[in-house]
Amino acid sequence: MTKKDSKDELIDLICAAENNPGDIDARLAVAHAYERHGDKDKALEELKEIARAFSDRHAAFFELGNFFLRNARPVEAAASFVHALQLNLKSHEASHNLGLAYVMSREFDKAIKALEAATALKPEYLESHLVLASAQMEAGQAERAAARLEALWKIERKNARVLYLLAAANLKTGDYLKAMIFVNEGLQAAPGDRAMRLLRAEIYLAQGQCPAGIREYDALLAERPDDALALGNRGLARSMTGDTDGALEDLDRAIEIQPGNATALVNRGMLLAKRGMLRRALKDFEAAIRIAPEDVRLLHNLAVLYLKLGEHDSAVAHLRKAAKLGHEPSAQLLKHLAET
């Protein structure tokens, strides 16, 4: 479609909406056209006006939520989908998309509730089950996720995504044998799939088969030398085999490519701390905590490092935050510090 055709289309849609002010579909068509043409501000303005004009219509708030979701604004998306569900509690699409918004904002407990509602409303919709299982894994409910995925696998035995998530769930539960079986089945269903191969390498490490994991990462990095995830994970694998220099080389490169890679920062920090380079380790841990401020294990490890450096007050502050978030080892260490 030429620019002239696009402009003519938009004019026609605006005229149709003006001639039918009570037609919500005509108004939504205008908003969608604005967005297609790249004018997101006008699209949002139109969608907000539609929500005001049709405040009793589920579709007005559902489409507003979809706009926010497409544009990575999960908090506003969630608020819109909640309003849509107040108008139509039986909307599977609104429940599903509300779950997606909560996943994006990392509110996994809320995501699980929304997605459980979605799966109850439309049990045959596979995507809701898969997103729910992913949210359960993020929320520390890997066993529940594995059970759900295994039930799906009995129906969708060749579905690569089901197999990938099933392998990931079993990795989290510690059933490494099942994890390897499912990831290999996944690679049969999707030969060469990069995400599947990265997961298989991770399973090798969990099984203690570091050389096999390193070979997998070597092959992946031969294809994409600047893959920060593969570099960071190979760095971890090398550290597990005692190759500290190789590990630091990989981790340095991973962080250079992706400065916001909290996992690589933590792993490098731990290696530096083992070498007695506590101040350099501290910089990595502090950078990681800025990226993941509520990671309780990271808070705890940072507190331990502060203690080694004699910075008692900073250690206590981080332990208190971790304990408040429910981390029992931090609570226990706080208690021990208070008694000594």
- Could you report the per-residue pLDDT of 244-286, keeping only the tens digit for each? 999 999 999 999 999 999 999 999 999 999 999 999 999 999 9
Distance CA 165, CA 124 (A): 18
Asked if residue 313 and residue 256 are part of one domain, the reply reads: no
Tell me the average pLDDT across 225-230: 96
Task: Give the pLDDT confidence score for residue 258 in this predicted structure.
Answer: 96
Is residue 8 one of the residues assigned to a domain?
Answer: no
What's the CATH number where 193 sits?
Answer: 1.25.40.10
Q: Are residues 300 and 286 in the same domain?
A: no
What per-residue confidence (pLDDT) applies to 5?
55
Q: Is the pLDDT of residue 303 over 60?
A: yes
Q: What confidence tier does 213 reach under pLDDT thresholds 50, 70, 90? A: very high
Could you tell me the pLDDT band of residue 26, with boundaries at 50, 70 and 90? Answer: confident
Domain range for 241 is 221-291
- For position 37, what pLDDT does the model report? 86
Do residues 235 and 275 share a domain?
Answer: yes
CA dist 280 to 177, 270, 309, Å?
38, 10, 12
**According to the model, what pLDDT value does residue 7 have?**
64
Q: Is 104 a domain residue?
A: no
Tokens matching residue 96 = 């599903």
Asked if the structure places residue 320 within a domain, the reply is yes
Look at residue 8 in the predicted model and tell me its pLDDT: 64
Measure Cα distances from 198 to 107, 217, 230, 326 in Å.
26, 7, 7, 31
How many domains does the structure of the chain reveal? 3
Choose one of 207, 231, 254: the last residue of a domain.
Answer: 207
- 242 Rama class: left (phi>0) / alpha (psi -120 to 50) / beta: left
Q: What is the pLDDT of residues 45-72, one digit of tens each?
A: 999 999 999 999 999 999 999 999 999 9
- Answer yes or no: is 135 within a domain: no
pLDDT in tens, 140-176: 999 999 999 999 999 999 999 999 999 999 999 999 9
Residue 95 lies in a domain: no
HSE of 170 in the Cβ direction (CA atoms, 13 Å)? 20
User: Is 13 within a domain?
Assistant: no
Average pLDDT over residues 103-113: 95
Q: Are residues 157 and 173 in the same domain?
A: yes
CA distance 49 to 33: 15
Indicate the pTM of the whole model: 0.84
